[in-house]
Amino acid sequence: MKRDHDKEFGSLLIKFSNLIGLSALTTMLLLLLVVIFRLTPAHTYLPDLNQVFQNSASNEVTEPITDGEMWKAPDLASLPATPEGDLIRYGHELVKNTAQHLGPEGSVLHISNGMNCQNCHLDAGTKPFGNNYALVASTYPKVRARSGMEEDVTKRVEDCFERSLNGTAPAKDSKEMQALVAYIQWVGKDVKKGDKVKGSGLLNIELLERAASPVLGKAVYIQKCQVCHGEEGEGMKPAGSAVYVYPPLWGENSYNDGAGLYRISNFAKYVKANMPLGATYANPQLTDEEAWDVAAYVNSLPRPKKDTSKDWPDISKKPFDHPFGPYSDSFSQEQHKYGPYQKIKEER
């Protein structure tokens, strides 16, 4: 009897041990699944961007830039309390809050699409590598290949209104145009003619060894841009407001296809140093590949049209990524828009 009892007890002990072991294994598996789900992005249908972008760009490393070498705009607070200072301050206000004064429901004029000048020229044209105004005063007037003519700052502002703001410019003798020109020239007043200052314009990035991809760019947009600019690129503005918090990137209220940012290289450089919100040239949040691809995606989508038939009268001077023919080389319009660009540049 005792032997049978001991045998039965031993059998129960083995079953109990197996049950504990199975429970422990189940717990470990559940913990592993939790970790996997926590680390896996919510949009699992998107391409694996790290894998896609591996080895797709040049291995050349861009020289790092330190803050101490950066161009800095003059301090607005240094402006005197004079009519000239007031005009410059008004120009700053127009650049910063264009829509409020000159947009579809503007307090002064209704001549633009509702975007602000500083949507393209960040921090009212003062941010390093934010498409700033650093070199305007020292380089204008100048001959521009796009028009084939000498242009002054007023003509440059007119272009921005007609292209990026998809509207019409204020009259040349208006207070608004005079204020905009005065402010833009004041921002670059300390840069001498011929000087090359770091931080001006846009940040150079490496060319891709492949064509920029709207398909891959859509994945970047959904993951990193959509939260601010909207699923349909419509931008974001509070209900009842006529002013965008974040501007539209395509559609009828965005920049037209004659704007500078419609060139993919310009858009890629712009977002690399400045987007998503919080990114800087020193701490970018996009890789070069992501910047190229999201630029291709955004500029593959519908937007207002502009007659560009008179642009670049000397077609040999068209930029390598100008998206409209005719061209002086044998490359297609598709390749000029999306790349790869290296062979186009080598042929020139």
Q: Cα 53 to chain center, whole Å?
A: 19
Q: Which residues contact 225 (CB under 8 A, 6 or more apart)?
A: 249, 275, 276, 294
289 contacts 267 by C-beta, under 8 angstroms: no
Please report, for the chain, how many H helices and E strands are present, in that order.
Answer: 14, 2
Is residue 303's pLDDT more than 80?
Answer: yes
For all residues of the chain together, what is the average pLDDT?
86
pLDDT tier, 242 (very low <50, low <70, confident <90, very high otherwise): confident
321 contacts 263 by C-beta, under 8 angstroms: yes
Is residue 17's pLDDT more than 50?
Answer: no
Is residue 329's pLDDT more than 70?
Answer: yes
Question: Looking at per-residue confidence, does 286 or 28 come out higher?
Answer: 286
Question: 204-207: long-range contacts at Cβ-Cβ below 8 A with a sequence spacing of 24 or more?
Answer: 204/62, 204/269, 205/62, 205/268, 205/269, 205/272, 205/288, 205/291, 205/292, 206/57, 206/58, 206/60, 206/62, 206/288, 207/57, 207/58, 207/339, 207/340, 207/341, 207/342, 207/345
pLDDT tier, 29 (very low <50, low <70, confident <90, very high otherwise): very low
φ and ψ of 44, to 5 deg? -70, -10
pLDDT at 11: 52
Span 226-239, average pLDDT: 96
Is residue 232's pLDDT more than 50?
Answer: yes
Structure tokens belonging to residue 1: 């009897």
First to last CA, the chain: 101
pLDDT at 35: 39
Determine the Cα–Cα distance for residues 244 and 238; give it in Å rounded to an integer. 8
Torsion, CA 313, CA 317, CA 323, CA 324, rounded to 10: 30
pLDDT at 69: 83
Determine the Cα–Cα distance for residues 161 and 183; give it in Å rounded to an integer. 16
Span 179-202, average pLDDT: 96
Percent of residues, the chain, with pLDDT higher than 90: 78
Q: pLDDT digit string (tens) for 133-188?
A: 999 999 999 999 999 999 999 999 999 999 999 999 999 999 999 999 999 999 99
pLDDT tier, 55 (very low <50, low <70, confident <90, very high otherwise): very low
Span 67-77, average pLDDT: 88
pLDDT at 97: 98
